[in-house]
Structure 1
Amino acid sequence: MLILDHPYVSEFLKDTAVEMQIPVLKNEMAAEISEEKGMKLLEKAEFIELMKEKGEYSLYSNSENSLGWISENLGFTGLPEKIELFKNKIKFRKLLERIYPDFYFQGIEFEKLDEIRVEEIKKPFIIKPAVGFFSLGVYKVSTDEDWAPVIKRIKAEVEEIKGRYPVQVLDVGNFIIEENIEGEEFAVDAYFNSAGKPVVLDILKHIFSSENDVSDRVYFTSKAVMETYRETVEDLLKEIGKLAGLKNFPLHIEIRIGEDRRIQPIELNPMRFAGWCTTDIAYFAYGINTFRYFHEKREPDWDKILADREEKNFCLVVLNKPAEIDSKAVQTFDYEKLLSDFEKPLELRKSDPEKYGFFGYIFTETRNSNWEEIGRILKSDLKEYITFR
């Protein structure tokens, strides 16, 4: 079962849905795609009835825009409670208290941010929307002096982004303050099968340009990343699965892993893999169609898959617009110049910066010996590709 929704469905996912003849909920997005591709569309009542008949099912949505529809129409599945448990970061932290009893966090209304006594909070800490998406509204506070400019930036960003996504995806009315999680950051696409076993489909390492950088510019995966962290990630997912009772459940989880191998979740996004169909990187890197693996309950043979992946890094580069650039001032973005700056770009996907706040993203294959191309784009403000009005 599949729900396709705005803002974006990749050609890869469209083709997979057609090839597998997966039942797709008929909505505006699916109807547009079906005119071109010809999918197995079901009216709302048919879709709901089929789920009731199946009893056990594999439901996937490419976009969190559909979470509201699921909550309104699929209460009999138990999914709305699971969605709320994970999307609300405050509730998620409360769930994890049984695993991490000493972790500090507190919820705060946006309107009361000015009342926070920042000197009483241990630093560094992270502040972000209680229900969020990408790195929108996420900031790190390392000193008391950081607080005033961070609050100013949050207020400006809230004014710019409110209304861009449904409240089930991004709700800037409430924020969470939580202690900073030390270690390297990773993003994982996985699912729980019908027996409640977690199956990892990819692990992406999130790298940053500086200590205070919280942007989504570069993620990469490699043989070393998969072999080093897969078992650790699986162990954590087993714990979360037991706490929440997860079966037939796709997810995208972000975590940090310290030098002592201690692992700590940052957030867990339900019903989907990486946003904007960036999970397609698993196919470029490992030949894994994450959608097919989930619906057919397949498990990767990692020993076989990784056998010929030495010295290769597969990168997701997000062309996120720096906050100081007014998207309305951008006349053109030189995608051709961008592509020429990488030795092996695999696919470019463009986006409207005025509508979505970023220029798009690319998948690349980069050898260890040419890592400087990734270091360069990681620190770039992208102005070398922009023509201003």
Structure 2
Amino acid sequence: MSQIGSVDAMWTWKLSTLPEETGTVVIRIYSNGTPTQTSIEGIAPRETPQFLLENADRNVHLLLPANSGYVVQSDFLERRMVDCPDVTKVQSFVSPGQQIKGCTAETYQSMSFSDLLSRSYGAIAASTSATINDELVKRLSFNWLSPNPIPRKRLALVGAGSLPKVHGYALAAASLNIALVVFDEASHWMSSDAYAHLREEFVPFDTTVDANMASRITVALKEYQREKQLDGIISVEEHLHTIIAHAATQLGFSTSPPESVGLAQNKFKTRQLDTNIFCRLVRSPADLEKVLAEEGSKLPYPLIVKPSKGWSSEGVWKVANEKELREKVPLLWRESFTSWHGHDVVIETYVEGPEVDANMILVNGEIVFFEVNDDFPCAGDSEDNESDTRVANFVETSNMLPSALPPFEQESLRKRLHELALAAGFRNAVLHIEAKLRNSSCRYVKDPSTDGLVELQLQTPATTTTHPKDVFLLEINPRAPGWQEVEATARTYGVSYWSISLLNALADKDRILSLSKPFVGGAQYDMQLLYVPAQKGGVYNFGDICTTVLRSDPQESGQTQQLGAHVVRCANLMEDGEEVLDPRTGQVFGNFIAFFLIVSRISRMEAMLIGREIEKRVREHTNGF
């Protein structure tokens, strides 16, 4: 039974116990007056009293450890309390790898107020206390303490990419007691002192992709290790993953087999894991003519044409006949494509059915976290591209978390994709898998009650998806999903692929197991990951479109909240003066104007309706760019 006890004339408090799996005792703080700097000076480390001072008009809850151990990630509290209803401020009071000592509720009950403050590992301020304990149980029921010390480790980051790509990794690394040493071109933005806080050291390195790159990496890292130890290697650059796997193998670092990574990055080789459709590889006009001569009228149109080693939906087209096939394939042999994706082009059957993103974390071959997200149809999926105002390509437009597919179909996806991941040779990995469901019980339809909004709906009569061939693998990516989707999953489920990817490079399986546990009950809300791609080429000159759209948010009739209240994260992906290629060329890398993470605790449909309105406003403010 919790009690209220007077501490002094200024403070009283109430203790609450939570379930054992949270490792937490909660102290609700009450102020009996207006606290001042003088009234709280000297009673605990500076951060805790300052939190009380700054949040005196709120409901403040101190969190104390019930167990002893080492903190697995210093900002775990902020990460797990993200977007928690009614919470206005969250702050951790621990450092990376810090050892803390827990006490029983009875011991805490007998302590002085200053002792309680000095022992807290974090604090929360909220507008109401009604649901805080319930939320803490949902969010903190995982092993956030390790029984073993967490020594500082050092990772080599070869190919740091852009700031949006690397920023999440850098923040996660700092909180995990991991130092990043960046190896990249001397002119790379990470070499600037302005970004020194994101890495321990910058080492100039020639990142030219050639047959000797893996050896160059190995030599450079061995040279570095004469002075300082390195414990692993990673890259955020897609085209370097196979090379990095080879270098890691040579250096004795943790990695998936280079053969597995190489297979996953080759869509034709990946297709051989499950050969149940028409699929051909062509490398030249002569190869294309041979396929046409041998297959002729037997070709199962519509077909998909795509680079075998492509990414970001570049050069992916659906063709309906031989004329379109002859038109699209040669476009992929332009130098602008082959310089990045090579000459190998895949021609395969277009498969009907809902498409999903399935993200998987493997430890010792077992799935420790798995999520299915609905990847909404692209313009290229349309059967009537003439009536679609969007360019008929396969650039993503909308992703919904969690999936609306029935549980038995999600289980079919989990089982079959796990089998295919193991067949590809993955045992310890973060995998971003794209797949379709043939014979699904659901299909995308326009909902007349929402003025034609497309949604995934159960068919009547319902079918079942249980046969392995109903799960059609599109591709396995031996990496985390794109940074926007990483952010979406971290907020929706409390699991960060940035953190897991870093720990995987160190083979730190214990911490992976701890941090792969989602919120109790699963997703905390419905989320739409809305991408707004450019519809035409030209020069972007529309400024900060996110701010423009959300500031121009008039109160809609009948709405109690503005649209911006549902946007938990957004970012502009184009800058003024940026030249954008016409997406009809198939070169669509960097084609997105902006993205928005839109949430609803009421319904999936509400999030989608808000997303449609936001996209409409982006189009209006960019003159349909």
**How high is the TM-score relative to the length of structure 1?**
0.78
Which residue does the alignment assign to 2:317? 139
Q: Which has the higher contact order (CA 8 A, sep 6+)?
A: 1
For 1:354, give the aligned amino acid: E
1:14 corresponds to 2:174 = no
1:349 corresponds to 2:566 = no
Which residue does the alignment assign to 1:297? 512
Contact kept? 1:221, 1:285, Cα under 8 Å: yes
Distance 2:368 2:232 in 1: 14
Distance 1:191 1:47 in 2: 33
Q: Deviations over 1:219-278 (max 9, x none)?
A: 1112745956553333123312432332222221101123142211100111x2112453
Distance 2:353 2:485 in 1: 23
Contact kept? 1:22, 1:40, Cα under 8 Å: no
User: SS state of the match for residue 26, structure 1?
Assistant: strand
Which residue does the alignment assign to 2:620? 384
Contact kept? 1:63, 1:275, Cα under 8 Å: no
Q: 146, 155, 160: which one pairs with 1:5?
A: 160
CA gap of 1:237–1:103, structure 2 versus 1, over 3 A, is same
User: What is the CA-CA distance between 1:376 and the residue it aligns to?
Assistant: 5.7
User: SS state of the match for residue 308, structure 2?
Assistant: strand
**How high is the TM-score relative to the length of structure 2?**
0.51
Distance 1:384 1:256 in 2: 33
Q: 412, 415, 419: which one pairs with 1:235?
A: 415
CA gap of 1:266–1:280, structure 2 versus 1, over 3 A, is same
Which residue does the alignment assign to 1:198? 367
1:253 corresponds to 2:433 = yes
Contact kept? 1:188, 1:200, Cα under 8 Å: no
Contact kept? 1:188, 1:254, Cα under 8 Å: yes
Distance 2:314 2:373 in 1: 19
Distance 2:267 2:617 in 1: 30
**RMSD, aligned α-carbons:** 3.7
For 2:357, give the aligned amino acid: A
Which residue does the alignment assign to 1:106? 280
Distance 2:371 2:223 in 1: 30
Contact kept? 2:493, 2:519, Cα under 8 Å: no
Q: More deviation in 33-42 or 198-207?
A: 33-42
User: What is the CA-CA distance between 1:158 and the residue it aligns to?
Assistant: 5.0
Distance 1:16 1:9 in 2: 12
Distance 1:123 1:315 in 2: 32
CA gap of 1:48–1:237, structure 2 versus 1, over 3 A, is farther
Q: Looking at CA atoms only, which structure, 1 or 2, has the larger radius of gyration?
A: 2
Contact kept? 1:254, 1:265, Cα under 8 Å: yes
Q: Deviations over 1:339-376 (max 9, x none)?
A: 44665122122223637333232222144342333346
Higher fraction of helix: 1
CA gap of 1:31–1:19, structure 2 versus 1, over 3 A, is farther
CA gap of 1:250–1:34, structure 2 versus 1, over 3 A, is farther
User: What is the CA-CA distance between 1:71 and the residue it aligns to?
Assistant: 5.1
Q: More deviation in 77-86 or 67-76?
A: 67-76
Which residue does the alignment assign to 1:208? 377
Contact kept? 1:316, 1:363, Cα under 8 Å: yes
For 1:384, give the aligned amino acid: E
Which residue does the alignment assign to 1:332? 542
Q: 597, 612, 617: which one pairs with 1:363?
A: 597
Contact kept? 1:10, 1:277, Cα under 8 Å: no
User: SS state of the match for residue 215, structure 1?
Assistant: coil
User: What is the CA-CA distance between 1:121 and the residue it aligns to?
Assistant: 1.3
CA gap of 1:198–1:377, structure 2 versus 1, over 3 A, is same
Distance 2:248 2:564 in 1: 45
Contact kept? 1:5, 1:66, Cα under 8 Å: no
For 1:173, give the aligned amino acid: H
Q: Identity, % of aligned pairs?
A: 16
User: What is the CA-CA distance between 1:217 and the residue it aligns to?
Assistant: 1.0
User: What is the CA-CA distance between 1:388 and the residue it aligns to?
Assistant: 9.2
Contact kept? 1:220, 1:314, Cα under 8 Å: yes
Q: More deviation in 173-182 or 30-39?
A: 30-39
